[in-house]
Amino acid sequence: MSIDRPFIHRDRFLAALKQAPQLMGILNVTPDSFSDGGRHFDPATAVARAHAMVAEGAAIVDVGGESTRPGHLPVSRDEELRRVVPVLEALADLDAPISIDTAKAAVAREAARLGACVVNDIWGLQRDPGMADAVAETGSAVVVMHNRDAADPTIDILDDVERFFERSLGLAAAAGVPFGRILLDPGIGFGKTPEQNHSCIWNLDRFRHLGAPILVGLSRKSFLGRILGVEVDRRLPGTLAADTIALIRGASVLRVHDVAENRAALDVFAALKRAAAPLPAPERRHGKARVVLALGGNVGDKALSLRRAFRALAGEPGIELTAVSRLYRTPPWGKTDQDWFVNACALGRTSLAPEALLERMKALEIELGRKPTERWGPRVIDIDLIAYDNVALKTERLTLPHPELFNRAFVLVPLAEIAPDLVIGGVRVGEAAARLAADAAEVLPLD
């Protein structure tokens, strides 16, 4: 398999989500999953089912080697790998992306080596401390799912899901996972009462303001059985009804067992939706200032330096990263007789005043190894404050918005990746980037 093929599949899948909702076909290679446990445990049967799901309309196939149903027995890393590796190896020629349904970083890394391009983590990067790094270092996309060890009927579940997502997005940003590769899953059936499951589905649009596509897995689940009074093999009508409601409320991906039937429902939904008025832009609700940061460097291991900077920023009191772009290779700016740079942008929130934030960023640069050089000269890391809410400021040390923003493709291109509709100084970022098309052609993603 070509080393680039998983990344091509990854990017096509993510691009398709921006055009229309997609289906994720479920392939459980386990003996004890709640719905189809044992049915595809044999690798040959599993591979045949994967090809069939793609033919039926699945945009991606989700391979899982550990049941996550209530009361399931955990399996070891080695046993999970024993189950999924033969299937992943046999699916090397599948003309569709593959995701690995795992909460173990070691399994995610091995699956990525074998061609998986999405990690579907039921603990949202918050259980295995190595998972965020595994996602970042393999270039995988990731499904961040909300989960709890036990249901608590006394909590505000929507608030709990939202705060969980914000923590996961912070972990992803700190590890350098590009925001454009993240999907959110409210985790229906995981650590929730039946009523809380219903609330998460009906209020799915609550999470739109976070800016990432939303995936839901409702297929054949027990909450449908409770509503309808039927066993698992008679829950397809309920699944189709619930999936349609999820689509109306903003879902971008449906994780399903019955691909053909859901494909038909999705086609009807898409046809009717064409007559709908556009939804209003999601609001961002927070009490802190929203900031835009630009990072770059051209000394030593350039990519590693930026990832270290992401992690350092995320660990700073008063600074919370919410999204980071991909890393881009860019030509030098100002002083051209030096090595090429790696650049990226980050979005965040802060409780610090602009000058205090600048002071902390400059201190971080020194902590990360930057030494004084001539202006625009080689540097390990450079962290610039580009914008701070809608503040216009000009002091001896700081001008906001950054006065060179709209002249710098190496800032605008990564920023347009994560915030194309953001308006800075009265100008939409995506439009500003398009105006620098000639310079933007030299700003190339590293992966």
The span from the CA of 368 to the CA of 355, in Å, is: 20
The closest alpha carbon to 243, from 233, 230, 234, 256, belongs to 256
| Whether the bond into 401 is cis, omega within 30 of 0 | yes
The span from the CA of 74 to the CA of 31, in Å, is: 12
In the residue annotation, 255 being an active-site residue is answered as yes
40, amino acid identity: H
Looking at 104, 206, 208, 255, which residue is catalytic?
255
Q: What are phi and psi of 27, to 5 degrees?
A: -130, 95
Looking at 221, 307, 349, 370, which residue is catalytic?
221
Contact (Cβ atoms closer than 8 angstroms) between residue 295 and residue 308: no
Strand duo 118-121 + 98-101: pairing: parallel
The closest alpha carbon to 423, from 284, 318, 263, 248, belongs to 284
For residue 264 the two structure tokens come to 């038909």
Q: What are phi and psi of 244, to 5 degrees?
A: -65, -40
403, amino acid identity: P
Task: State the greatest distance between any 2 C-alpha atoms of the chain, in Å, as a whole number.
Answer: 73
For residue 100 the two structure tokens come to 């690995």
The residue behind tokens 């919370």 is 320
In the residue annotation, 288 being an active-site residue is answered as no
Which residues are annotated as catalytic? 221, 255
